[in-house]
Amino acid sequence: MGSEIKVGDIMSKNVISVTREASIMEVAKLMEKYNVGSIVVADKRKAEGIITERDIVRKLIGTGKDSAKAKASDAMSSPLKVITAEASIETAAKAMREYRIKRLPVISGKNELVGLISEGDIMRVFPSIVDLLEERAAAGQ
C-alpha cells in the first residue's frame, strides 16, 4: 500500500495484562470489565503469551478442564507473535493474515509490551490510507 502509518500510530496503548499465575476467572472478569476479547500474559512487561475468548473455550471448557482452577498459563497461546511500534501497518496486516490471528502485541526494542494492534485498529485507518494513495496518484508519485 505504501502508506507511512506505523503500528505505533494506531495501536492501543492501554493493554490489559496478567501474569501466568492469574486465574482464568480473573482473566474472564477483566475481559468483561474492559470489553476486550484478549488479555496479554506478561511478566514484568515482557510479553509471554495471549489469551483470547476462543482460547478459553477451546483449551479449557471444550476439553472439560476445571476453569475455576485454571491459570492463565493453561489457556495462553505461546510462543507469542509480536510486532514493533516502528513497523508499518501493512507489515502488521500481512503478519495477521499469515499467522491467522486478529491481534498482535506491540513490543519495544527491549522486548517490553508497549501496545496492542488489532484488525479493527487497521480497518479504522483504512479510509485514511485510501485518501493518501489517491493523493499520491494525483501528484504522480
How many Å apart are CA 48 and CA 7, to the nearest integer?
20
Run means of pLDDT, 10 residues per run, the chain, 141 residues: 78 93 96 94 91 94 91 94 94 92 91 91 75 63 55
| Longest distance between any two alpha carbons in the chain, whole Å | 61
Question: For position 87, what pLDDT does the model report?
Answer: 95
Residue spans of the domains in the chain: they are: 7-138
Q: What is the pLDDT, as a whole number, of residue 130?
A: 58
pLDDT at position 1 is 45
* Contact (Cβ atoms closer than 8 angstroms) between residue 113 and residue 45: yes
- Peptide bond connecting 105 to the previous residue in cis, omega within 30 degrees of 0: no
What integer pLDDT is reported at residue 2 of this predicted model? 47
* pLDDT for position 3: 58
Q: Which CATH class is domain 7-138?
A: alpha beta
